[in-house]
């Protein structure tokens, strides 16, 4: 059995805007795993249109790809800065998250 899932950028923007209106704290977007299979750049563009300015990704490589699309957004890497990747990560491009 196969299925088809259609995701609307209008719905994505509306959901993010609703979260912004109802949240008691700050709202950030998580676009790891290539935007959960939707395309990180596509999802991020829709979320920026809704007001998103902070994004989380899983890996440094995802952050580097997303930076090409989002020049001004804050991008946080969930895996943190690993010893072998610290030399390639600049503070302007992404910041490690803390737990």
Q: How many CB atoms lie within 10 A of CB 66?
A: 24
User: How far apart, in whole angstroms, are the C-alpha atoms of residue 64 and residue 38?
Assistant: 18
- pLDDT value at residue 19: 96
Please tell me whether the overall predicted TM-score, pTM, comes out greater than 0.85 for this model: no
Domain that holds residue 39: 9-96
pLDDT exceeds 60 at position 57: yes
Average pLDDT, the chain: 86
Count: domains in the chain: 1
Band (pLDDT 50/70/90 cuts) for residue 82 is low
Q: Are 44 and 29 in contact (CB under 8 A)?
A: yes
- In the chain, the percentage of residues whose pLDDT exceeds 90 is 69
Confirm whether 72 is domain-assigned.
Answer: yes
pLDDT in tens, 23-34: 999 999 999 999
- Look-up of token digits 């395309």: 39
Q: How many CB atoms lie within 10 A of CB 5?
A: 6
**What CATH number should be reported for the domain holding residue 66?**
3.20.20.10
Confirm whether 68 is domain-assigned.
Answer: yes
Confirm whether 85 is domain-assigned.
Answer: yes
Confirm whether 45 is domain-assigned.
Answer: yes
Confirm whether 66 is domain-assigned.
Answer: yes
Confirm whether 2 is domain-assigned.
Answer: no
């Amino acid at each position: 059995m196969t299925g088809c899932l259609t995701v609307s950028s209008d719905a994505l923007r509306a959901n993010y805007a609703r979260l912004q209106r109802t949240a008691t704290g700050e709202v950030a977007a998580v676009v790891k795993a290539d935007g959960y299979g939707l395309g990180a750049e596509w999802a991020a563009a829709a979320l920026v249109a809704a007001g998103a300015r902070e994004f989380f990704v899983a890996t440094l490589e995802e952050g580097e790809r997303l930076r090409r699309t989002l020049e001004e957004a804050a991008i946080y890497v969930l895996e943190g800065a690993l010893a072998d990747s610290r030399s390639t990560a600049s503070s302007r491009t992404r910041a490690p998250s803390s737990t």
